[in-house]
Chains A and B, each alone.
Chain A
Amino acid sequence: MAIAKAERLMNLALCLLGTRRPLTKRELRGSIEAYLQTGTANDEAFSRMFERDKDDLRELGLVIETVEGIDGETGYLARRDSNRLPPITLDAEEAAALGLAAKVWQQARLAGAASGALQKLRAAGMPVAEDPYDTPGHSALEPRIPVHESAFEPLMLACRDRRPVSFDYRKANAARPEQRQVEPWTLECWRGHWYLAGWDRERAAERVFRLSRITGRVRLRSGAFTAEVPDHVTVRETVESWAGETANGTARIRLRSGHGYPLRAKALSTRAAGDGWDELEIPYGHGLDAWLVEFGPDVVVLAPEELRADVVDRLRAVAKG
């Protein structure tokens, strides 16, 4: 039976951490059972496996140095001082808070990484603490970060490693997707949806993309970023303006009493207008017309004229059926 991958990786990690001098591929191959089993005839298979294993260990945080030997053979080692966790002391409260935080990821890769981080910290002496929101049988507070978009993981890695990408993207009101060439900067989750901010190479401008509108696969491109990465990227402001949360004026409406609570909650002023109606002044930004139409005959727009016309236009479309 083939030796399990975890056992092979563990042995490679321990060999590299345990040695004081660089070990050659040949030496490692001769001392790790799983590599011996690949057979002496199959150099190709061993080399591929060895390269993949080193990459996997590096993903786990191991710093593996490559040293060119005098005899031309490459040696590898993981120095203790570059792999040691610096001293960190966390008290029970801090440990409990991190325990709560580590549970938020629902995405497999990050969930695994978060529990791996906690395990390293516990191994280094962090106390095991109770959930501060513990109630019988469950936690009374469960923050969760949803990740439903398949583009998330490749984009997360591309942001981390600063690699350009390309993907097909369908804008909100576009009939067909279009290919975009992007230097990805940051990913942000707002109201449960993920957004990417980056440099759009063809448009030569900063753009924000909603991950759920990426169709097909995200492809990594060779080469480096060409545009400078800004210190501060503001995804939220852009997305809020899409969502109509950025007001640049005010509107006056009549609202039937007892209706439209969310409009009332946003109102700058409200006064009774008689006959079972109130008059409100509300912030006016992109998308307000679509929202007001939802309230049907319980809302009448008074001003500005432009908003009134947009609402009437939308109502006519529905009235025609």
Chain B
Amino acid sequence: MAGNAIDQTRRMLSLVTYLRERPGARVADVARAFGISQDELIADLDVLPLCGTSFRGGDLMDIDTDGERIWWHNPDDVAEPLRLAADEATALLVAARAVATLPGLREGDRDALLRATAKLEAAAGEVAGASSRLSVIFESEGGVFADVDRAISERRRLWLRYYSPARDEITEREVDPIRLFAVGRTYMEAWCRLSEARRTFRLDRVVEIKLLDDVSDPPPIELRDLSELSSALVQTGAEDPEVVVEVGPGGRWVAEYYPHDSADELPDGGLRITLRAPDPGSLRRLALRLGRDGRIVAPQELADSARDAARRALAAYGE
């Protein structure tokens, strides 16, 4: 979070406003209010005494700390709250509007977001206008979302019927929910009692959901950093079997949707894509979908199974 000089300058400008209103503020409270570590705050406090409206004759800010509390001995009226920059207003307004679109968000929170958004728009003034040039839609299944949210806050186990596209089947399972997250679509991370493992469930694939009376008791697990998840969210590992697909120009989308090890350009404008799948059979759907836009090169069994499925399907049309 310390980030670059721009972010630090931005933070220090707000910091002087904050400190002016709160003589003797506690280091821990200030760090929390600014969303930074205490070390980062101390680093800012090392810079501030070197700053001032020095044009008026060396009047640097006399700010010091004993490591516990912060004192500003010559508070200056220069430290008034500053208006929002265009990017600041945009970042916060676009995010607030996006979160408010989450179906299933608690109504109280949605109302609070909408109230805050209206106040922010008014306070930001004309710079709020640019925020309409950026927008984000979160999709989720409102009812399922609300049930998962309730299960987490009441610490209750969930029963699910869940659709697996890889097998084109619906399975029943009990899970202990851990968190909801949205990355384009909305997902639940949970401990699956059936597989005794952490699983990610896409909410639009939940066919049916029920809150159970059992206490949810997921084992302590380290949460993955969401910034490392790709939008495809397919969990693959280096030990998974390799699948090689060759696509023509019309199949280039495969590289956009499937995480892959490599995608090499082919002379005709197509790609040779190497990816990994825990269960290569799950890619039969992809092979069928590609049609004349691509084919499975390896493994051979996968290519055979797609060809066989297509032949059996054609039989129903009298071929």
Give Cα A62 to B94, complex, Å.
21
Give Cα A65 to B52, complex, Å.
20
Q: How far is the CB of A24 from chain B (nearest CB, A)?
A: 11
* A49-87 residues at the B interface, CB under 8 angstroms: 56-57, 59-63, 80, 82-87
Contact A102 B83 (CB under 8 A): no
Q: How far is the CB of A158 from chain B (nearest CB, A)?
A: 10
Contact B120 A88 (CB under 8 A): yes
Q: How far is the CB of A115 from chain B (nearest CB, A)?
A: 6
* Count class of interface residues, chain B: 35 or more
Which residue of A has the minimal Cβ distance to B29? Answer: A128
* A107-159 residues at the B interface, CB under 8 angstroms: 108-120, 122-125, 128, 132-133, 135, 138-146, 148, 156, 159
Interface segment, A181-189, A218-226, A278-286?
A181-189
Contact A116 B303 (CB under 8 A): no
List residues of chain B with CB within 8 A of the CB of A123. Answer: 14-15, 17-18, 21, 81
With A138-B223, A262-B163, A297-B309 in contact, is A173–B34 under 8 Å at CB?
no
With A18-B78, A86-B83, A94-B112 in contact, is A258–B51 under 8 Å at CB?
no
Q: Is A48 part of the contact surface with B, judged by Cβ < 8 Å?
A: no
Q: Is B237 part of the contact surface with A, judged by Cβ < 8 Å?
A: no
Interface segment, A38-46, A199-207, A267-275, A312-320?
A312-320
Give Cα A252 to B170, complex, Å.
23
User: Quick one: CB contact mask for B42-72 with A, threshold 8 Å, 1 for yes?
Assistant: 0000011011111110000000000000000
From B32, B53, B96, B165, give the contact of A18 (CB < 8 A).
B53
List residues of chain B with CB within 8 A of the CB of A84. Answer: 80-83
Contact A314 B292 (CB under 8 A): yes
Q: How far is the CB of B41 from chain A (nearest CB, A)?
A: 12
Which residue of A has the minimal Cβ distance to B306? Answer: A318
Q: How far is the CB of B19 from chain A (nearest CB, A)?
A: 9
User: Quick one: CB contact mask for B227-256 with A, threshold 8 Å, 1 for yes?
Assistant: 100110000000000000000011011001
List residues of chain B with CB within 8 A of the CB of A19. Answer: 53, 55-56
Contact A122 B179 (CB under 8 A): no
Give Cα A9 to B295, complex, Å.
57
Which residue of B has the minimal Cβ distance to A124? Answer: B81
Contact B87 A101 (CB under 8 A): no
* B149-171 residues at the A interface, CB under 8 angstroms: 149, 152-153, 163, 165, 168-170
Which residue of B has the minimal Cβ distance to A289? Answer: B291
Give Cα A33 to B52, complex, Å.
11
Q: List 11 extra interface pairs beyond A88-B122, A94-B113, A316-B310, CB under 8 A.
A: A6-B8, A32-B54, A59-B87, A62-B85, A97-B116, A108-B3, A116-B88, A132-B106, A159-B130, A175-B269, A299-B313
Q: Can you identify 13 A-B contacts, CB atoms within 8 angstroms?
A: A6-B8, A14-B54, A18-B53, A33-B50, A60-B6, A115-B7, A135-B179, A142-B182, A188-B135, A191-B185, A259-B169, A294-B288, A315-B314
Nearest first, the 3 A-B pairs at minimum CB distance are A175-B269, A192-B184, A61-B85
